[in-house]
Amino acid sequence: MPNTTQNDAPRSLIWFRQDLRVKDNPALINAAKHEHVLAIYIFDESLPDKAKLGGASKWCLHHALISLNDALDGNLMVVSGNPEDVLATVCKEHDIGAVYWNRMYEPWAISRDTDIKKELKSQGIDVRSSNGSLLWEPMQVLKKDETPYKVFTPYYKNGCLNAAHPRYPERKPHIGFVTSVEAQTDDAKIAALALLPTISWDTEIDKQWNISEQGAQYKLERFITEAIEDYNEDRNIPSIRGTSQLSPYLHFGLLSPNQAWYAVHDAFDGSREKKGVYVYLSELGWREFSYYLLFHFNDIQNRNFNKKFDNFPWQQNKKYLQAWQQGNTGVPIIDAGMRELWQTGYMHNRVRMIVASYLVKNLMIDWREGERWFWDCLLDADSASNSAGWQWVAGSGADASPYFRIFNPVLQGEKFDKQGEYVKKYCPELKALGNKYLHKPWEASSEELADANIVLGKDYPGHLVDLKTSRRRALDAYSTIK
């Protein structure tokens, strides 16, 4: 940080939030320059509804905290409460002279942090925030006229790629901890936050995800050695591991985007020529763009970016919404995706787009319903990416997919899940159905269904809505607002 002299208070505090790692953590590096460091995580249950974690997210957080505490040799103080009160008390009790954190960009977090900064400063404490979760911060990328970009490509190419290079990842600093019984934590103390589910739906998830800083590094290495070269093609196929699967780690900051960005760059000698490399880096760019939009146009979580959509005749239909949520729409690729989400807390990206298009267009249900369900169910739930993604699909977002671009889930299934491996994994009742009707069982004859031991409406649902007429209906609705 230029032109700032280091505060020479002997004791500093680092407030961990969504940066649960010891490597490449700017706030931790700053805090560690002091003789003694108090590390704290504050679990706040009084957050606004929009910010309250869903079950899968909580599960992730639990493991992330265990991992962080471990990396800090048991010196992560873990408490429940209101951050403003907790910080004021802890700073007093432990004679803290400087407080550090990495910035968050959700509007509620910005206003909370602003208040806390003011309060702590009034107590004579030095407070500094750093950038620990974005490659380029929203305020530093603007058009020539000083206004924010609204279209991805110029934002990324002219704004980001021409700006100063992102920070190169830094090492874990040497840390001298405050010695205090109160600041010592064991696993039981983290367990007491009750972040784990009371019924154990998480055994499957447990096998698939190693939520730790080390686990993030493994995933990143696997991605670079095994998947990135064919990323451009393979990322579309839900039955294979063609995507990076780094989103949960990025969300909680077990991995910084800088670590991902430079690991990929360095592995390919700094060249972006390989298609998969270029495309992956631009996916990190989309993540940046989501935060950028959230920062500059801060109501994208609740409001249509494109105001025309305020008049869109969304349908309220509990039955349709529930069928979608439970994976009982009768459209195999949709149901497989929604069941994957429910069972594993994750959904393949291609399938996320397909199920979102189906909800918003074929069922004509408000994107906010989908956004809320994803928020509740996803391990990697992230309000910036989630709201930007849903608005993109709905057509109401900045640089969105045009409304008339409607996915046909049958064609998408036939294109990206040819052999039905993905569908059959989550809809095992369709196991014996041949490829011809696998993605459209409602068109199979009763003999073919009988051969596959399926009675539609009993073993597997009949389809909720006709794809052709519901598509037509959505287009007609769109013409009323354009």
Partner DNA sequence: TGAAATGTTGGGGCG
Partner DNA sequence: ACGCCCCAACATTTC
Find how far residue 445's CA is from the centre of its chain.
Answer: 42
Q: Which candidate in 201, 286, 342, 442 is catalytic? A: 286
Q: Can you tell me the distance from the alpha carbon of 80 to that of 230, in angstroms, rounded to the nearest whole number?
A: 44
Within residues 438-457, the interface with DNA by CB under 7 A covers none
Task: Give me the least distance between CB of 353 and DNA, in Å please.
Answer: 6
Q: 225 or 469: whose CB is closer to DNA? A: 469
Q: Can you tell me the distance from the alpha carbon of 453 to that of 469, in angstroms, rounded to the nearest whole number?
A: 29
Task: Give me the least distance between CB of 396 and DNA, in Å please.
Answer: 15
Q: 110 or 411: whose CB is closer to DNA? A: 411
Q: Does residue 157 touch DNA according to CB under 7 A?
A: no
Within residues 37-66, the interface with DNA by CB under 7 A covers none
Among 201, 286, 297, 342, the residue binding DNA under the rule CB under 7 A is 286
Among 223, 305, 392, 426, the residue binding DNA under the rule CB under 7 A is 392
Task: Give me the least distance between CB of 344 and DNA, in Å please.
Answer: 21
Indicate if 221 belongs to the active site: no
Among 11, 251, 348, 350, the residue binding DNA under the rule CB under 7 A is 350
Q: What is the side-by-side order of every strand in the sheet holding 11-16? A: 76-80, 36-43, 11-16, 98-102, 126-130
Indicate if 324 belongs to the active site: no
Choices 219-227, 334-342, 449-457, 471-479; region in contact with DNA by CB under 7 A: 471-479
Label residue 428 exposed, middle or buried (CB < 10 Å: 0-12, 13-18, 19+): exposed
Q: 212 or 349: whose CB is closer to DNA? A: 349
Task: Give me the least distance between CB of 393 and DNA, in Å please.
Answer: 9
Give the tokens for residue 127: 């407070």
The closest alpha carbon to 301, from 430, 431, 389, belongs to 389
Task: Give me the least distance between CB of 236 and DNA, in Å please.
Answer: 7
Indicate if 367 belongs to the active site: yes
List, in order, residues 6 or more apart from 8 with CB less than 8 Å away: none
Task: Give me the least distance between CB of 356 and DNA, in Å please.
Answer: 11
Q: 215 or 276: whose CB is closer to DNA? A: 276
Cβ neighbour number for residue 230 with a 10 Å cutoff: 15
Q: 307 or 472: whose CB is closer to DNA? A: 472
Q: Which candidate in 59, 390, 392, 429 is catalytic? A: 390
Task: Give me the least distance between CB of 242 and DNA, in Å please.
Answer: 12
Choices 69-77, 117-125, 137-145, 345-353; region in contact with DNA by CB under 7 A: 345-353
For residues 47 and 76, the answer to whether their CB atoms sit within 8 Å is no
For residues 77 and 110, the answer to whether their CB atoms sit within 8 Å is no
Q: What are phi and psi of 259, to 5 degrees?
A: -65, -40
Within residues 228-267, the interface with DNA by CB under 7 A covers 236
Q: Can you tell me the distance from the alpha carbon of 360 to that of 209, in angstroms, rounded to the nearest whole number?
A: 30
Q: Which candidate in 106, 213, 283, 429 is catalytic? A: 283
The closest alpha carbon to 25, from 132, 165, 159, belongs to 132
Within residues 396-435, the interface with DNA by CB under 7 A covers 401-402, 404-408, 411-412, 415
Task: Give me the least distance between CB of 408 and DNA, in Å please.
Answer: 4
For residues 424 and 431, the answer to whether their CB atoms sit within 8 Å is yes
Q: Does residue 353 touch DNA according to CB under 7 A?
A: yes
Q: Which candidate in 201, 314, 342, 442 is catalytic? A: 314
Choices 88-96, 223-231, 346-354, 366-374; region in contact with DNA by CB under 7 A: 346-354
Q: What are phi and psi of 128, to 5 degrees?
A: -135, 135
Q: Which candidate in 30, 102, 236, 349 is catalytic? A: 349
Give the count of residues interacting with DNA (CB under 7 A): 21
Q: 70 or 414: whose CB is closer to DNA? A: 414
Q: 143 or 405: whose CB is closer to DNA? A: 405
* Residues with active-site annotation: 283, 286, 314, 349, 367, 390
Footprint on this chain of DNA (rule: CB under 7 A): 236, 283, 286, 349-350, 353, 392, 401-402, 404-408, 411-412, 415, 468, 471, 475, 479
